[in-house]
Amino acid sequence: MNANTTVRPQEADAGVDIPPVVQMTNVRKTYGQFVALDDIDLTVNRGDVIFLIGSSGSGKSTLLRTINSLEPIDSGEIRVCGDVIGYEGLGASRKRLSEARLTTQRRRTAMVFQHFNLFANMTCLDNVASGLRFVRKTKPAAANARALELLDSVGLVDKADKYPIQLSGGQMQRVGIARALAMEPEVMLLDEPTSALDPETVKEVLDVLLRLHHEGMTMLVASHEMKFAKAAASEVIFMNGGRIVERGTPTEFFGNPKTVRAQEFLSKVL
């Protein structure tokens, strides 16, 4: 794998004022009386790897899904590369964008899901090429060629003609990563990418993510893979009850957690 096949190029002019890749400001999301996200402020700059940790129901997955506009928000604002995501207008006149416009925005924020979400009736090649063909309207031959490059980048070019049912869990997740990369996203959103895998296949997925990190891919990762967080994270964010309770570098957070809730959590998972 190399940088020019997976990661968007850095800005050539270092003097340009580059907005954060993701900027969340006072974001709130509820489901009835349940507050899933409560006043979230988060800045993700290019090349950052932000690790979201916390117990089930703490808000990690919801946070990722709001950035990808899979979930609407009640209030606040989310920007990707300076552009407001999901809505147009302000205040009472704010309106949710049409699904067609949301689909266009999602090209910048590729999502990798816990349970792979591959198309069972498509080969690995077709799964990776599908977004290129149907969203970007790339010609079939060019889409297939690009898909083969990406499958090669995750070590699965020999599985191009296989169907998901013929793959291991780790292989399916790597196909999912290749499919996400096909859209040339500004940021990858990974929701528990290894939690559905058996221990023998976790490493092969983490190795791919670690290579992406070294090549400069911006990532937000919800995961309990603490070794990966220590190796790759630029910041660790601990969530509880829909709020960001504590944040810091891996050295700061794992070495000296400041809140009682974070200390309790780490004592159970480390």
Q: Which two tokens stand for residue 165?
A: 């049912």
pLDDT at position 16 is 63
Give the tens place of pLDDT for each residue, 89-126. Answer: 988 889 999 999 999 999 999 999 988 889 999 999 99
Tokens of 156: 């699965």
Calpha distance 49→211 (Å, rounded): 12
| pLDDT tens by residue, 139-161 | 999 999 999 999 999 999 999 99
pLDDT tens, position by position, 188-231: 999 999 988 988 889 999 999 999 999 999 999 999 899 899 99
For range 249-269, the mean pLDDT: 95
pLDDT at 3: 39
List alpha helices for the chain, DSSP H: 3-6, 60-67, 99-106, 124-134, 140-153, 169-182, 199-214, 226-232, 250-255, 260-269
Sheet of strand 34-44: strand arrangement: 34-44, 22-31, 75-80, 83-84
Q: 248 by DSSP, 3-state: which?
A: strand
Full-model pTM:
0.90
Q: Which of 103, 108, 106 is nearest to 218 (CA)?
A: 108
